Amino acid sequence: MNEALIVRRWRRYGADRLYVTAESGARVGCVDLQSGEVIVDEPVLEEGVRRAAQAYLRSDVTELVLPYQLEGVLEDLEDLRRLDGDVYEPGVRTRASSIRTRLDGLTAAGWHVVHGVPLGRQGTVVDHLLIGPGGIFTVAERAHPGEQIEVRRRTMTVGGEPVAYQRDARLEAARVQALLRAAVGSQLTVRAVLVLQGIIDMAPGQRPDDVLVMARSDVPGAFVNLLERLEPPRVDAIAAIARQRTTWSR
């Protein structure tokens, strides 16, 4: 890829991300500034996305255009943390990357994982879409190391402050479900999964009904133990459709 990269920041609904696209409008990848996770379609693009994110954080602009080939190497996350306040915590790169690795480990059990699913043309990206014997799930992660996270049936607070993570996850899953149903041509159900990092307070009787909330340590075991809802041929067919960009551009 020799064309320029365009980096834009997106902050909405409690999320804070950098989106990297090519001049042609093709999506290259994104960086979650809360967890430090980098999401790319092709592993070979990851280094370019990391360098683009570093260049953006060093600049003082709302949109950055830069050549794909950058000189130098990407600094570690401690350096990035100094550039952008407390967005990055020391060592979070290792922790953040593990959720993707954990999900990818499910492929041995017949699951498919699609990372960085773009929804429409507004820059919204589903972090992870999980399709397997146990069903179809959107997976989002929210990291608050060391903070108290109180989870109730319809509400959630972090450090005593209300957050809209459940609502956002619910709306995301509903959007994915509608687009997948239109593309597949049949009824299917997509459930939202919210993976939390922090000190989780969730009484058994207070578990949300429509959002599956779990700790990172529950991944991937929580999915392996699910009852089979989809047969392997249907799983493969849905996953193939989910990997088509046209499925999400409606």
Q: Which long-range contacts (CB under 8 A, 24 or more apart) does 220-223 make?
A: 220/102, 220/103, 220/105, 220/106, 220/109, 223/106, 223/111, 223/130, 223/132, 223/134, 223/137
- pLDDT confidence tier of residue 121, bands split at 50, 70 and 90: low
Give tens-digit pLDDT for 9-58.
887 766 788 888 876 666 778 888 877 777 776 666 777 788 888 888 87
- Confidence bin at 216 (pLDDT 50/70/90): confident
Report pLDDT for 78: 38
State the Cα–Cα distance between residues 94 and 37, nearest whole angstrom. 9
CATH architecture, range 92-248: 3-Layer(aba) Sandwich (3.40)
On the 0-12 / 13-18 / 19+ scale of CB atoms within 10 A, 28 is buried
Mean predicted confidence (pLDDT) in 68-84: 38
* Position 100 pLDDT exceeds 50: yes
Looking only at the bridges linking them, the beta strands covering 135-151 and 63-67 are unpaired
Does pLDDT of 212 surpass 80? yes
Cα 131 off chain centre by: 15
Q: What is the pLDDT of residues 165-210, one digit of tens each?
A: 999 999 999 999 999 999 998 899 999 999 998 889 988 788 888 8
Are 182 and 206 in contact by the 8 Å Cβ rule? The answer is no
Q: Residues spanned by CATH 3.40.1350 within the chain?
A: 92-248
